[in-house]
Structure 1
């Protein structure tokens, strides 16, 4: 039997430096403003359990005298203010006399998340996942400055894996085919993958040369396992597909091809 194992399809980042979340405000002097902010090219920042991950925060900044610099950028969970992320600096490029595109580099190290809040009673490292916000302080050539909160929001998600195994292989036409699998996600407390329970996952099928379509859904058990049966009518490939949540990435397993005789 062949087992299809999904790759981590968008591992973005989580990181390591304590960032204090200031009270919401926007203040400064003059007309300098951040007019557009894009985090991680518009995608979620997805964090596994091993290597540090970096992501970019691209800011379009305008001032009538020109943009001097970005003084600081911070990012943290908008709901609980957890922010184990390192700000590694910003580079700016002028696109006109009044506008610059400045890109901040951030880094999240999953191996540091748990220790970041370990002194707090009831600390849950996985609570770092969710909707985050970006704050930035910018300066203009003429001395104008602006401290901007929540110039963008984005999602930090836990990485996930998903497997598929269809058996028996081959199978006789009209007989029962059993499709199993397991949905797991990163745990930032022990830096391992654990079964993701009570999640609805789609079972999908495609004929050779065709496209996948959903046949039915199943719910993961207390260990993240999936199991269902279907009638074997034609050769093709089977896979599980999970749509993701606010805190966990979307993941699709590799298909498992089955020959029907």
Structure 2
């Protein structure tokens, strides 16, 4: 998926539209399940907080990723589950093949129409939602939002996104497309994945009172390069769990080097296991290393 170039013909509703992104800015042009044209110039972004549009529908109870932060690695795309309630007019048949709806994430202002080229970052799913009617005017819906590091998602977008819902009906080629956008349905934090190599405590076994060296390495997903470079200058806790117990306790805090290296020493006292724990930041997810057991003689 690359940047949109040239003019894309308006796609009929029944045929999935082109989903593309500006790789420099992570700007999606449209959900795959929406009609789209890239020749219409700047989109009309709106600031609606309630359902705003031609269709008598609204979204509520929007839950993205079960309410947990969305953690995205360097290369693999994330399919993020979303659930919500769709409320609609009694005379609107949401099972019609020309009706579709789904969730999206946006940073600043939401788009004004699926027929416009989007000028700001928006994250959509690639398929419309599946909805099960719960009454004559409500339905329980499930969908997903797809995030592609390096394509629709870049490093500067590791932040808190706003949540919205989109519904539309009709034939854009026939000039009777109706659509409704609803924003401010909640927020969702999108974070870069971090990794810690397994803690390595040595020597093993070790004499009581001797010095143990514990090492690891901290890296972080770079969405711009699709790599996991070193994450330096970060505070990481070394923790210890005594053999026969189930609780880790903090031993000390270690700073990662410019190459992401973690290295510190402790005195051997009793058998147990060591691990490193990175608490994360607003842009980067927390992570805990695999533990390493030490046999003290």
Given the two structures, how large is their TM-score scaled by the length of structure 1?
0.78
The CA RMSD over aligned residues, in Å, is 2.8
Partner of 1:257: 293
Structure with greater Cα Rg: 2
Q: What is the deviation of 1:139?
A: 6.7
Partner of 1:128: 157
Measured in 2, the distance between the counterparts of 1:212 and 1:28 equals 54
Describe the superposition over 1:91-125 as per-residue Cα deviations: whole angstroms up to 9, x where unpaired: 111122332112222212225247xxxxxxxxxx3
* Structure with the largest fraction of strand: 1
Aligned match for 2:281, one of 233, 242, 245:
245
Q: What is the deviation of 1:161?
A: 0.7
* Structure 2 residue 74 is the aligned partner of structure 1 residue 49: yes
SS state at 2:66 partner: helix
Q: Which runs of 5+ in 2 are unaligned?
A: 1-18, 22-26, 30-42, 110-118, 170-177
Partner of 1:33: 58
Superposition pairs for residues 87-106 of structure 1, below 5 Å?
87-106=126-145
The count of aligned residue pairs is 234
Superposition pairs for residues 1-261 of structure 1, below 5 Å?
17=21, 18-19=27-28, 22-25=45-48, 26=50, 27-28=52-53, 32-63=57-88, 65=90, 68=94, 70-78=100-108, 81-83=120-122, 86-113=125-152, 125-138=154-167, 146-163=180-197, 164-210=199-245, 211-261=247-297
Q: What is the deviation of 1:215?
A: 1.6
CA distance 1:28–1:206, shift in 2 (3 Å): same
Give yes or no for contact 2:129–2:144 (8 Å, CA) kept in 1.
yes
Higher RCO structure (Cα 8 Å, ≥6 apart): 1
Measured in 1, the distance between the counterparts of 2:207 and 2:67 equals 46
Partner of 1:12: none
SS state at 1:229 partner: strand
Q: Which runs of 5+ in 1 are unaligned?
A: 1-14, 115-124
Q: What is the deviation of 1:259?
A: 0.7
Q: What is the deviation of 1:257?
A: 0.7
Which deviates further from its counterpart, 131-140 or 162-171?
A: 131-140
Given the two structures, how large is their TM-score scaled by the length of structure 2?
0.70
Describe the superposition over 1:137-174 as per-residue Cα deviations: whole angstroms up to 9, x where unpaired: 3479xxx9752112121111111110211111111101
